[in-house]
Chains A and B, each alone.
Chain A
Amino acid sequence: MPVVEYEKALLPNIASNETEWLKAYEAGGGYAALKRALGMTPEELVNIVKDSGLRGRGGAGFPTGMKWSFLPKGAKPRYLAVNADESEPGTCKDRPIMEKRPHLLIEGIVCSLLAIESEWAAIYIRGEYYNAAKVMQKAVDEAYAAGILGDNAMGSGKKAHIVVHRGAGAYICGEETSLLTSLEGYRGYPKLKPPFPAISGLYGKPTIINNVETLACVPLILTRGVEWFKSYVHEKSTGLRLYSVSGHVKRPGVYELPMTVTMKEMIYDYCGGIRNDHDLKFVIPGGSSSQWILPNNLDFALSVEGVASAGSMLGSAAIMVFDHTVCPVWAAVNTSAFYRHESCGQCTPCREGTAWMHKILMRIENGGATMKDLETLINVAGDGRPNTGMISGKSICALGDAAAWPVGSALKTFRHEFEEHIKLGYCPYKNKRYWMANGKFVNETFEHKPTWGAHH
């Protein structure tokens, strides 16, 4: 099938390694949205974002305009925290926004500050993103020097300040309440909600948290219009979206596409299919916390609703593709190791549950597990749906759910392979990992041919 090309509105310069600095951004029509926003009331701005149908790009897909309208009337000061923690495994789409088009984000932030009647925003950038933080800081400095930011932003008499703030290596700080605690200078422990941050957030003040890509959409909505944004629509998902595609496709990368594109088109048309023309084993559609999907189920749109209809979630739109050489038990071990390591340890179901899952999975993978272990694992992890098992729905924040769902769905999807591992006492996929592009470490002697179909 020929690949259908769409316009690239967020990242027209995705292929370039250059940063678009202020002069180039303005030459291309940048900061026109902010000029427009300065002529509007906060209510008008919130309503435009509501009408556009914009939903959060960070994971939960919450309608942005609605979130903004939860702020209590008149309560000041209020803050904006920009979530640039981007730590969900598979996700690598906020980094190119910051590194290639930092002023799009700054413009989105200032427009959003006007909408929510705030004067201060912090961009919380994960510690590993040294370069993105440097580029953002330089762009913020440019914006201050040009009078776009400051006590008299663009001569409007309004204050708009942005602080570039770096995390220091903790996945949990992407969770919104944890991000705020970390920004206050403490260990990044999440807090129980309610109260929601819109009521009591940073320093106990009303706070809005939005993802980088969410805010980068705001200037586009303002300049190109609500109708343009809504012309890309699948059910209740509007606008273009940045997909991070990784793993065993021929062309991994970050793709800006409308959410009507299906998973099959993404893998086989846009990304060129599976490397070495191997068979597809399974797909993770929305970051490592989303439920696994089998090759017989790829005809769904990559929208919030589309991925949900396939039994998983769009999450951060990070698609990971696995070919037939990947042992699902081993993949579950790797994933559970991540969540075990990243659990902040505050609540027992998550702290103990993530450790149990990882230990049992390692036993299944490396030998020594019994069928009883499998039962225990299923009891702890659940079946991949919310509020099943002993972790999901029983912890302070959604990291617990994020840890349980992929394991639960792996057990449901590949139960027979887990049982085979236990019966054999070892992993039948030997020497399964190899280098992607270059031939040196490729081990083509891979022979594990499952006797079962990958589908039920």
Chain B
Amino acid sequence: MPVLAHRRDEIERLCAKYPSRRSALLPLLWMVQEQEGWVSQDSMREVADIIGCTAAEVYEVVSFYTMYNQKPTGRHHIQLCHTLACAICGSAEAGEYIKNKYGFTHGKSMSDDGRFSIVEVECIGACSNAPAMLVGETLYGDLTPESIDSILGAHA
């Protein structure tokens, strides 16, 4: 199932912004992920056709960059920072708190209702507001148990 067929004009405008078409590869993968929530192998083939390279080359790129999800995530994908500044300000405790609340365990990173998924990531550039996390595309810092409750509570 092609996922970008209806966006051809937009795609051509995107490609035209760069001196070389290949440069549009990362933005196209973002387009897929923003629309579908993840990047499937089928969509990698589709992107390869648009760029004019092989599907293997697209996979090579997808597998290098940690933010491309190669499987579906929860409706709200949590990226919790565990790097140094956050780690000394309670990111492990924040992680425990979220995991207990939604029943995440080692090896199970999606809640049963598919509402949340979680991944621990390296520094997200919010170090002076540690501990910090992204929920979907929104950054939240200075996390406390109360703020976690209200932030996640607001994500249905």
A→B interface (CB under 8 Å): 77, 79, 86-92, 94-95, 120, 126-131, 161, 163, 165-171, 182-188, 202-203, 244-248, 252-254, 284, 288, 318, 320, 322, 326, 331, 334-335, 338, 341-342, 433-438, 440-441
- Determine if B122 and A168 form an interchain contact, defined as CB atoms under 8 angstroms apart: no
Give B59-84 interface residues, CB cut-off 8 Å to A: 60-61, 64-68, 79, 82-84
- Determine if A434 and B93 form an interchain contact, defined as CB atoms under 8 angstroms apart: yes
Q: Which of B17, B64, B85 contacts A188 (CB 8 A)?
A: B64
- B residues less than 8 Å from A284 (CB atoms): 84
Stretch at the interface among B19-27, B98-106, B109-117: B19-27
Q: Do A185 and B26 contact each other (CB < 8 Å), given the known contacts A128-B134, A163-B18, A435-B144?
A: yes
- Determine if B122 and A244 form an interchain contact, defined as CB atoms under 8 angstroms apart: no
Residues 24-35 of chain B, each 1 if its beta carbon lies under 8 Å from chain A, else 0:
111101100000
**Interface check B11, CB cutoff 8 A:** no
Q: Which 9 A-B pairs have the closest CB atoms?
A: A169-B67, A168-B65, A185-B25, A130-B137, A169-B66, A246-B127, A185-B22, A246-B85, A435-B90
Interface bracket on B: 35 or more
Give B124-156 interface residues, CB cut-off 8 Å to A: 124-131, 134, 137-139, 142, 144-146
Complex CA–CA separation, A127 to B129 (angstroms): 19
- Determine if A436 and B84 form an interchain contact, defined as CB atoms under 8 angstroms apart: no
**Interface check B87, CB cutoff 8 A:** yes
Complex CA–CA separation, A90 to B146 (angstroms): 25
**Interface check B3, CB cutoff 8 A:** no
- Determine if A185 and B84 form an interchain contact, defined as CB atoms under 8 angstroms apart: no
- A residues less than 8 Å from B68 (CB atoms): 168-169
Q: How far in angstroms is the closest Cβ of chain A from B90?
A: 4
- A residues less than 8 Å from B137 (CB atoms): 130-131
**Interface check B92, CB cutoff 8 A:** yes
Give B1-48 interface residues, CB cut-off 8 Å to A: 17-20, 22-27, 29-30
- A residues less than 8 Å from B19 (CB atoms): 77, 79, 120, 202-203
- B residues less than 8 Å from A248 (CB atoms): 88-89
Complex CA–CA separation, A77 to B19 (angstroms): 10
Q: How far in angstroms is the closest Cβ of chain A from B139?
A: 7
B→A interface (CB under 8 Å): 17-20, 22-27, 29-30, 51, 60-61, 64-68, 79, 82-85, 87-90, 92-94, 121-131, 134, 137-139, 142, 144-146
Most buried by A among B20, B64, B68, B130: B64
Q: How far in angstroms is the closest Cβ of chain B from A100?
A: 14
18 other A-B residue contacts (CB within 8 Å) besides A91-B125, A186-B61 = A89-B84, A89-B122, A92-B126, A95-B125, A166-B27, A168-B65, A168-B67, A185-B25, A188-B65, A246-B127, A246-B130, A247-B85, A247-B130, A252-B128, A288-B84, A320-B84, A434-B90, A435-B93
- A residues less than 8 Å from B17 (CB atoms): 161, 163
Closest residue of chain B to A288 (Cβ to Cβ) is B84
- Determine if A187 and B88 form an interchain contact, defined as CB atoms under 8 angstroms apart: no
Complex CA–CA separation, A244 to B124 (angstroms): 13
- Determine if B127 and A90 form an interchain contact, defined as CB atoms under 8 angstroms apart: yes
- Determine if A436 and B64 form an interchain contact, defined as CB atoms under 8 angstroms apart: no
- A residues less than 8 Å from B24 (CB atoms): 185
- Determine if B84 and A254 form an interchain contact, defined as CB atoms under 8 angstroms apart: no
Complex CA–CA separation, A423 to B122 (angstroms): 31
- Determine if B65 and A436 form an interchain contact, defined as CB atoms under 8 angstroms apart: no
Q: Do A168 and B93 contact each other (CB < 8 Å), given the known contacts A120-B19, A129-B125, A187-B60?
A: no
Q: Do A87 and B125 contact each other (CB < 8 Å), given the known contacts A169-B66, A185-B25?
A: yes
- Determine if A131 and B138 form an interchain contact, defined as CB atoms under 8 angstroms apart: yes
Q: How far in angstroms is the closest Cβ of chain A from B93?
A: 5
Closest residue of chain A to B25 (Cβ to Cβ) is A185
Complex CA–CA separation, A441 to B146 (angstroms): 12
Q: Which of B92, B122, B130 contacts A252 (CB 8 A)?
A: B130
Q: How far in angstroms is the closest Cβ of chain A from B152?
A: 16
Complex CA–CA separation, A87 to B125 (angstroms): 7
- Determine if B92 and A170 form an interchain contact, defined as CB atoms under 8 angstroms apart: no
- Determine if B30 and A166 form an interchain contact, defined as CB atoms under 8 angstroms apart: yes
Q: Do A246 and B128 contact each other (CB < 8 Å), given the known contacts A89-B85, A167-B65, A341-B122?
A: yes
- B residues less than 8 Å from A126 (CB atoms): 125
- Determine if A184 and B23 form an interchain contact, defined as CB atoms under 8 angstroms apart: yes
Q: Do A440 and B127 contact each other (CB < 8 Å), given the known contacts A170-B65, A185-B23?
A: no
- B residues less than 8 Å from A203 (CB atoms): 19-20
Complex CA–CA separation, A170 to B19 (angstroms): 23
Q: Do A183 and B23 contact each other (CB < 8 Å), given the known contacts A435-B89, A435-B144?
A: yes
Closest residue of chain A to B79 (Cβ to Cβ) is A128
- Determine if A92 and B128 form an interchain contact, defined as CB atoms under 8 angstroms apart: yes
Q: How far in angstroms is the closest Cβ of chain A from B104?
A: 18
- Determine if B88 and A247 form an interchain contact, defined as CB atoms under 8 angstroms apart: yes
Q: How far in angstroms is the closest Cβ of chain A from B128?
A: 4
- B residues less than 8 Å from A127 (CB atoms): 30, 65, 67
Complex CA–CA separation, A252 to B27 (angstroms): 34
